[in-house]
Amino acid sequence: MTYPAFHNLIGGEWVPAASGKTILNLNPANHNDLVGEFPSSHGEDVERAVEAAKKAFRTWRLTPAPKRAEVLRRTGALLQERKEKFAREMTREMGKVLAETRGDVQEAIDEAFYVAGEGRRLFGVTTPSELENKFCMSVRMPVGVVGLITPWNFPMAIPSWKLFPALVAGNTCVIKPATDTPLSVYNLVQTLVDAGLPPGVVNIVCGSGSGAGSALVEHPDVRAISFTGSSAVGSHVGQSAARGFKQVSLEMGGKNAQIVMNDANLDLALDGALWGAFGTTGQRCTATSRILLQKGIAAEFTEKFVARAKKLKVGNGLDETVEVGPQVNAAQIETSAMYVEIAREEGAKLLTGGRALAGGEYAHGTFFEPTVFANVKPAMRIAREEVFGPVVSLIEFETFEEAVEIANSIDYGLSTALYTKDVNRAFAAIRDLEAGITYINAPTIGAEVHLPFGGVKQTGNGHREGLGAIDFFTTWKAVYVDYSDKLQRAQIDNAE
Ligand code: UN1
């Protein structure tokens, strides 16, 4: 079978990796469908990309921010035209169903228009000086060359969360896409180029984390790293970036709880749980992986939830009737299978699923059954560790306080959801759930681009995407203008 060959983008030129080596991009629903080959890059390629980004920074940082924003506005408009094509290509390389890949491209469109508006804001502050005839202000400056390392589960949305704010703020970028989903980053960056982005402002270096990712994190001229991925890799990235005193934004795992109280609208809670747990085949960092059920509704919820999980149609995401696509690769299937074993050994009760799907339409892909465990205790590994697959745990509780305690008893803190009609409880949950995101009467997934996105504890290191991204991709400069025509010494000349 023939398939296209893609190259790195360095200084506006499409070039192969210095090693000449490539990585094949497969359709996870059908491994005989080869999406393309992409460069397997290493230090030398990263070196060239950073050089190109440094060169481009000299002029991009001087381009007025509203003009930089124009490129993003045009990018948003072009993405609207290309949405269907890009969604189909994303389903082919990543697997999630078309409705979701359309949503993923839409998220990049939303981000483009949202951040384009930032071109006419990028606000700083002015404040009075303690001295006479002196003016004080703070202005946002670009950081410089930034390195972006992006995951496969939101192949276009998450790169757009990083690229667009970095660009509007005047930075130049080297992006390393996930090896499973580089095509969506190509599509995004090609659209930026078509919208008028000058050469070298964004460079793509494809390859593995150990090959290209580490070289990017370690490069002395890369001043900031924005990473989304697992906590294990994120810890490594954070430590390595810290050695070079780089700014680093880490967006990592979750073990997100949906709490259902006795007074909840049960059908709504069921819809939310099903979407939160099995949307994107459970491969979201915000996926619902624990459903906490108050005793009064636990039996009814469990029965209905399992019945609906069993009915979910698993298959090729390009088929519009399919509800759950494949997992992205064989390693993810192994992880799901491993956690099924762990849960069984711990004494959790498997109510449905638990196996990889094989044969027939599943013969050439990496599919896993929607899987539900009951009798899960908060101390079990299946209740604490991220699976990143269609595996969900049901945990029962007596009181609201107990539910909050269980929800908070893990190392992660990304998303949480509470289903209740009690407004007092809702506000207590907003206050007490240890998570970067809390939903009331809505599932744990579904964040919008203009709110802060990120989490606490081992989910992140304090930065936020969305609303917080401009803070990460800019550095403050304090400016003092003394128009007194004499030496004025702060803290000394005006002392009481
Ligand atoms: C992720 O969970 O990996 O909030 C990102 C959502 C999407 C983004 C999720 N807008 O579900």
pLDDT of residue 2: 86
Question: 218 pLDDT exceeds 90?
Answer: yes
Half-sphere exposure of 35 (CA within 13 A, CB side): 26
- Average pLDDT over all residues of the chain: 98
Give me the residue label for tokens 């202005």. 139
Token pair of 162, please?
């990083």
Question: 258 pLDDT exceeds 90?
Answer: yes
Whole-number Å distance, alpha carbon 223 to ligand 1 midpoint, is: 26
Give the C-alpha separation, 344 to 432, whole Å: 32
What average pLDDT does this structure show over 326-330?
A: 98
Give me the residue label for tokens 């009064």. 296
Shared domain check, 332 and 187: no
Give the C-alpha separation, 369 to 364, whole Å: 15
Residue 69 lies in a domain: yes
Nearest CA to ligand 1 atom 6: 446
Nearest CA to ligand 1 atom 10: 447
Give the C-alpha separation, 73 to 75, whole Å: 5
pLDDT of residue 495: 81
Whole-number Å distance, alpha carbon 284 to ligand 1 midpoint, is: 6
Question: Candidates 101, 154, 416, 438: which one to mutate for ligand 1, based on the most atoms within 8 Å of Cβ?
Answer: 154
Whole-number Å distance, alpha carbon 484 to ligand 1 midpoint, is: 53
- 3-state SS, residue 17: coil
What average pLDDT does this structure show over 445-463?
A: 98
What average pLDDT does this structure show over 40-46?
A: 98
Per-residue pLDDT band for 85 (boundaries 50, 70, 90) equals very high
Asked if residues 185 and 204 have their Cβ atoms less than 8 Å apart, the reply is yes
Whole-number Å distance, alpha carbon 337 to ligand 1 midpoint, is: 24
The catalytic residues are 251, 285
| pLDDT, tens only, 414-437 | 999 999 999 999 999 999 999 999
Other CB atoms within a 10 A radius of the CB of residue 77 amount to 15
Other CB atoms within a 10 A radius of the CB of residue 114 amount to 20
Question: 126 pLDDT exceeds 80?
Answer: yes
CATH of the domain at 275: 3.40.309.10
Per-residue pLDDT band for 391 (boundaries 50, 70, 90) equals very high
pLDDT of residue 34: 97
Residue 341 lies in a domain: yes
Q: Counting atoms of ligand 1 from 1, which one is nearest the CA of 283?
A: 3
Q: Counting atoms of ligand 1 from 1, which one is nearest the CA of 447?
A: 4
Q: Counting atoms of ligand 1 from 1, which one is nearest the CA of 103?
A: 10
Shared domain check, 179 and 154: yes
Shared domain check, 228 and 279: no
Shared domain check, 310 and 203: no
Q: Counting atoms of ligand 1 from 1, which one is nearest the CA of 437?
A: 4
Residue 495 lies in a domain: no
Residue 313 lies in a domain: yes
Give the C-alpha separation, 276 to 67, whole Å: 39
CATH of the domain at 219: 3.40.605.10
Shared domain check, 241 and 306: no
DSSP codes, 141-173: EE-SEEEEE--SSSTTHHHHHHHHHHHHTT-EE
Shared domain check, 27 and 151: yes
Shared domain check, 81 and 127: yes
pLDDT of residue 452: 98
| pLDDT, tens only, 279-321 | 999 999 999 999 999 999 999 999 999 999 999 999 999 999 9
Whole-number Å distance, alpha carbon 364 to ligand 1 midpoint, is: 28
Asked if residues 145 and 109 have their Cβ atoms less than 8 Å apart, the reply is no
Residue 453 lies in a domain: no
Asked if residues 412 and 458 have their Cβ atoms less than 8 Å apart, the reply is yes
Question: 1 pLDDT exceeds 80?
Answer: no
Shared domain check, 338 and 227: no
| pLDDT, tens only, 335-371 | 999 999 999 999 999 999 999 999 999 999 999 999 9
Ligand 1, CB cutoff 6 Å, lining residues = 107, 153-154, 284-286, 445-447
Please give the share of the chain, as a percent, with pLDDT higher than 70: 100
Shared domain check, 339 and 209: no
Of residues 2 and 482, more confidently modeled: 482
Residue 190 lies in a domain: yes
Residue 485 lies in a domain: no
What distance, in Å, lies between the first and last C-alpha atoms of the chain? 82
In which domain, by residue range, is 27 found? 8-252+460-478
Shared domain check, 265 and 225: no
Of 298, 57, 81, 319, the closest CA to residue 201 belongs to: 57
Question: 262 pLDDT exceeds 90?
Answer: yes
Q: Counting atoms of ligand 1 from 1, which one is nearest the CA of 449?
A: 10
Give the C-alpha separation, 357 to 367, whole Å: 5
| pLDDT, tens only, 136-181 | 999 999 999 999 999 999 999 999 999 999 999 999 999 999 999 9
Give the C-alpha separation, 178 to 358, whole Å: 26
Per-residue pLDDT band for 496 (boundaries 50, 70, 90) equals confident
- The strand pairing partners of 290, in sequence order, are 257, 393
| pLDDT, tens only, 142-154 | 999 999 999 999 9
What average pLDDT does this structure show over 460-469?
A: 97
Give the C-alpha separation, 370 to 353, whole Å: 5
Q: Please name the residue ranges forming H helices in 221-372.
A: 231-243, 266-278, 295-311, 330-346
Which one-letter amino acid corresponds to residue 66? P
Name the domain count of the chain: 2
Residue 484 lies in a domain: no
Whole-number Å distance, alpha carbon 60 to ligand 1 midpoint, is: 30
Question: 204 pLDDT exceeds 80?
Answer: yes
pLDDT of residue 494: 83
421: CB partners within 8 A, 6+ apart: 263, 264, 265
Shared domain check, 111 and 193: yes
From residue 139, alpha-carbon distances to 59, 165, 291, 435, 439 in Å are: 19, 16, 45, 31, 35
